[in-house]
């Protein structure tokens, strides 16, 4: 969003330097008032978005009782990863769940959709609830993190349908975690359909790998 607004601001500055209608050739230079209106409107959007983002971050920091800073961030996330791996050991051994540490002290949890949802559906399977219960147990103990839940599909079917299904699945996981007392302020859900495959969609195995739900667990950092 920030990049988009910056681009809009740059575009508005360019537009303000261009011409409008009114002279003999059908155009006239824009008045300073008109230029100011364009720049002011887009600049206001940029500032407004920045304020909104800052308020949202402030609200999250408040919701989790303060953010992390310095070396405490890495230590906190390492402990959380270890506890996730311990709680989800049986699922990891079965190949249904993986836990990875990413750059920036982010922990990624990947869950295969075939164990979580029926084909074309967004209702969580009863057996998958046990996995989410184990996940929630750790997430609740490590309050100073935010979670982005991302649904993915394979490339079969229409793009719009895949996007909608992936959104619904991500939202279902978020709602379940919230029902297990994970603070809603920590949760975000989005769907990316078939746009981010991790394997070829030309094989059954590849399509199974692409049908997944990812959870990015990020530290809430102090301002």
pLDDT at 55 over 90: no
pLDDT in the model for residue 114 = 80
Please answer whether residues 165 and 151 qualify as being in contact, where contact means their C-beta atoms are separated by less than 8 angstroms: yes
Render pLDDT for 101-160 as a digit per residue (tens, 0 to 9): 999 999 999 999 888 998 889 999 999 999 999 999 999 999 999 999 999 999 999 999
pLDDT value at residue 119: 83
Please tell me the predicted confidence (pLDDT) of residue 12: 46
Where exactly are the structural domains of the chain? 2-63, 71-219
Residue 215 tokens, joined = 């959870």
Flag the least confident range among 41-50, 145-154, 157-166: 41-50
Architecture label for domain 71-219: 2-Layer Sandwich (3.30)
Helix (DSSP H) and strand (DSSP E) numbers for the chain: 8, 7
Q: Is 11 helix (H, G, I), strand (E, B) or coil?
A: helix
In this prediction, residue 28 carries a pLDDT of 59
**Judging by beta carbons within 10 Å of its beta carbon (0-12, 13-18, 19+), is residue 145 exposed, middle or buried?**
buried
**CA 47 to chain CA centroid, nearest Å:** 22
DSSP-based three-state secondary structure for 101: strand
- pTM for this one? 0.73
Within the chain, residue ranges assigned H as helices are: 2-17, 32-63, 71-87, 89-93, 113-116, 126-141, 159-179, 204-210
Could you report the per-residue pLDDT of 168-218, keeping only the tens digit for each? 999 999 999 999 999 999 999 999 999 999 999 999 999 999 999 999 999
């Amino acid at each position: 969003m920030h990049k988009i607004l910056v681009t809009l601001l740059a575009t508005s500055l360019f537009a303000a330097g261009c011409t409008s209608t009114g002279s003999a050739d059908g155009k006239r230079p824009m008045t300073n008032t008109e230029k100011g209106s364009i720049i002011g409107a887009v600049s206001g959007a940029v500032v407004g978005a920045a304020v909104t983002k800052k308020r949202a971050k402030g609200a999250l920091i408040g919701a989790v009782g303060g953010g992390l800073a310095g070396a405490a961030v890495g230590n906190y996330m390492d402990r959380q990863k270890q506890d996730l791996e311990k709680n989800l050991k049986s699922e990891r051994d079965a190949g249904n769940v993986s836990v990875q540490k990413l750059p920036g002290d982010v922990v990624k949890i990947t869950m295969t959709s075939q164990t979580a949802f029926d084909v074309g559906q967004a209702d969580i399977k009863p057996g998958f609830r046990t996995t989410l219960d184990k996940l929630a147990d750790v997430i609740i103990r490590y309050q100073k993190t935010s979670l982005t839940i991302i649904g993915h599909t394979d490339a079969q079917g229409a793009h719009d349908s895949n996007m909608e299904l992936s959104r619904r699945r991500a939202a279902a996981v978020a709602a379940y975690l919230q029902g297990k007392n994970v603070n809603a302020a920590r949760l975000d859900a989005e769907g990316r359909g078939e746009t981010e495959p991790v394997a070829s969609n030309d094989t059954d195995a590849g399509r199974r790998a692409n049908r997944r739900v990812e959870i990015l667990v990020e530290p809430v950092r102090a301002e």
